[in-house]
Amino acid sequence: MNHSVTCEQLDQWREAWENDPERQLAALALSKSEIPSVAYSRAAANRMHPRFSLELETLPVANQEHSGRCWLFAATNVVREAIAKKLNLEKFELSQSYLAFWDKFERANYFLERIIETAEKPADDREVAFILQTGVHDGGQWTMFVNIAEKYGLVPKDAYDETFQSANTRPMNYLLNRALKAAAPKLRAMVRAGEAEETVQARKAEVLGKIYGFLCSCYGEPPKTFDFEYTDKDKVFHAERGLTPQAFCERWAADILRENVSVIHAPTQDKPFHRTYTIRYLGNVEGGKPVVHLNLTMEELKAAIIRQLEAGEPVWFGSDVGHAGDREKGIWDTELYGYELLSGLDLEISKADALDYGFSAMNHAMVLTGVNLVDGKPNRWKIENSWGDKNGEKGYYVCSDAWFDQFVYQAAIRRPYLGELAELAGQAPKELDPWDPMGTLAD
């Protein structure tokens, strides 16, 4: 049977459009204006007041510049608040570049190990193609931050500051991935030829040595020790000499790294709630902790977040910021744009279908620092972003609770605030395919 579009159908649709005043009005409005500008709801924007019944006092926002390091900025923003509170600081920032250096280096090793592991499979095998396509880039997840910090420690930003390349990563990433893909066929050929593991690993080490040198050129050589100097709010100067990054991390951040659980909200049929999940090939440190998510209902997720905020602790979270946002005003709200009214299209899609059909997944990590509660229920949330202080309220944003329900996917919650649900995190996780949407990275 022929199901092509007919001339009769085209005539019907043409007549319907010509006689529809809403479509004619839309044509006039769209003739010289951008679609988002025409669909923008000022009334919805006005409802997103940057005022909250529960609001943490936090440090000024940071700026990830032209890089995809949001997950590292969000993580260090959470950790620095705890350190600043302990040390009575009004200004403090951890080095995101230090973590990014070691993440890049470790991820190169992780990539090459996966290439060696899958050497017997053809290059067009779906898993091999996924590994090659993913390569090394800026994005990450909470557990990947933990892996780097636990192995290499943390340093203050003034001990390892930004460089041009750390803030503008695209050319650097291009060269890294070109080098890795140049090495991949050689390593695969060695494995297929039956060469000894020691020989293959020696060749891999040569590649990693050159990558280490390139990263040092881009970021500077990471410090083995540093002096931690600071002046507290009482104008008292302090100095701790010869600290290692690992010692600094253990002293000031170990509890945060060890107590957080990665919690997700994925309401798809393949992921029952109250189960744990891991994703094959998702990681950065070979031999590090696997990324494991505990899937909870949205009500459970929000209740845990609110408990953590009530305790005075900010929350790292991952969301999809590509929908219903006004960057200049610093707003995310599902009612911010009247796209259905303007377009005449049916645009409603459930969160589960959005995940299953590739419409939405986590792509950006930020920090929750407040919430507005009405009769105990949230209606908007305060967000610390890492896009500088030019937009929103000096870089702080607000989202509606409806947007939160639809586009928030992950949070790092301290175990005490999960209550009895924390015990569920110890389950043996179900392994998901590498391309599962819960394996997407925040950048």
d(CA 119, CA 97): 33
Nearest to 61 by CA among 331, 393, 389, 398: 389
Q: Which of 70, 218, 249, 399 is catalytic?
A: 70
Q: Say how far apart CA 135 and CA 110 lie, in whole Å.
A: 10
The CA distance from 373 to 25, in Å, is 39
Closest of 374, 300, 396, 339 to residue 77, by C-alpha: 396
> What length does the chain have?
443
Query: Whole-angstrom distance between the N-terminal and C-terminal Cα of the chain?
Result: 47
**Cα of 389 vs its chain's centroid, Å:** 19
Q: What is the distance between the alpha carbons of residues 380 and 145, in angstroms, rounded to a whole number?
A: 28
Residue 409 burial by Cβ neighbours in a 10 Å radius (0-12, 13-18, 19+): buried
Distance between CA atoms of 332 and 326, rounded to whole angstroms? 6
Which H or E element spans position 368? Answer: strand 364-374
70 is annotated as an active-site residue = yes
Instruction: Judge contact between 274 and 301, C-beta under 8 A.
Output: no
Contact assessment for residue 277 and residue 425, using Cβ atoms and an 8 Å cutoff: no
Known catalytic membership, residue 216: no
Q: State the catalytic residue, choosing from 147, 177, 364, 379.
A: 364
Please say whether the beta carbons of 383 and 366 come within 8 A: yes
On whether the CB atoms of residues 280 and 345 are closer than 8 A, the answer is no
Residue 247 makes CB contacts below 8 A (sequence gap 6+) with 153
Q: Select from 295, 435, 414, 427 the least CA-distant residue to 351.
A: 295
Cα angle, residue 305 at apex, residues 301 and 307 outer, rounded to 5°: 120
Give Cβ neighbours of residue 298 (< 8 Å, ≥ 6 apart).
265, 267, 405
Other Cβ atoms closer than 10 A to 241: 9
Q: Which of 77, 109, 385, 391 is catalytic?
A: 385
Catalytic amino acids? 70, 364, 385
